Copies of this chain bind each other. A is one copy, B any other.
Amino acid sequence: MKHMPHVSLITVIEIIAILVGAFSGFIEARRKRMDVVGVFTVAFIAAFGGGTLRDILLDRRPLFWVQHQEYAILIFILALIANPLIRTLRQIVSERLIVIADAVGLGLFAVAGVSLALTANMPLFIASMMGVITGIFGGVLRDIVCNEVPMVFRDGKPYAICAFIGCWLYILLQRTNVSDDFALWLSATVITLLRLLTWKFDMRVGRP
């Protein structure tokens, strides 16, 4: 274990975050009684839609999933066995674990988004928006394709707001002497913890 490169941890977390996004697509697509083409497409959009929209807005290429076709192939294979897979997972994985994995994914995606936007010289507020877009638009596009008003816009759960706060923490940390790595991990962790806290206490934001 001593010589295990630290990139492995990131890769493992990345895969988990992508799989959690994809599973939210599997579940939504099955609720809509879609066939295997729909199940794959909706899962793919849920997993990669946020980052793809960010990259189109920033005009970044190649897209993440173009460079990592192994993730697309993984979702493709899982889509073929989505039905037994979801049933099995529901028996062995608690809801708590799914919420935790989802919160970890939110933190990672949002911090990756704000960091890439700052690298592309976006103004600060726009950079924070890019972070939130990366974190939530997978779910937004998934719901639009499934012909639903996006959940994240109406359930009052402070999902986007946790991402927004963490993005600004990262922007502020960038102004200090701390290393970029530390800023990334701290901000992602804060987003994850905020999300878990607001879930634990079932906090809601009101309608404006």
Q: List the interface of chain A (C-beta within 8 A of B).
A: 29-30, 32-39, 41-42, 52, 56-59, 61, 63, 65-66, 69, 72-73, 76, 79-83, 122-126, 129, 136, 140, 144-150, 152-156, 159-161, 204-208
List the number of copies, as a whole number: 3
Q: Report whether B129 and A72 are in contact in the complex, using a CB–CB cutoff of 8 Å.
A: yes
Beyond contacts A29-B153, A33-B154, A36-B207: 7 other A-B pairs, Cβ-Cβ < 8 A, are A36-B206, A57-B63, A66-B126, A69-B123, A144-B144, A144-B145, A145-B153
Given contacts A29-B153, A80-B208, A153-B41, contact A73 B125 (CB under 8 A): yes
The one of B63, B145, B207 in contact with A30, judged by C-beta atoms closer than 8 angstroms, is: B207
Q: For the complex, what is the distance from the CA of A148 to the CA of B38, rounded to whole Å?
A: 13
Q: For the complex, what is the distance from the CA of A156 to the CA of B80, rounded to whole Å?
A: 14
The one of B59, B66, B159, B205 in contact with A123, judged by C-beta atoms closer than 8 angstroms, is: B66
- Give A126 Cβ to nearest chain B Cβ, in Å: 5
Residues of B within 8 A of A207 (CB): 30, 33-36, 39, 83
- The chain B residue sitting closest to A81, CB to CB, is B208
- The chain B residue sitting closest to A30, CB to CB, is B207
Instruction: List the 4 shortest-distance A-B pairs measured between CB atoms, nearest first.
Output: A38-B153, A82-B208, A69-B123, A37-B160
What are 11 residue pairs bridging A and B, where the CB atoms are less than 8 Å apart in the complex? A32-B153, A35-B153, A35-B208, A36-B207, A37-B160, A39-B207, A56-B57, A57-B66, A66-B126, A69-B123, A145-B150
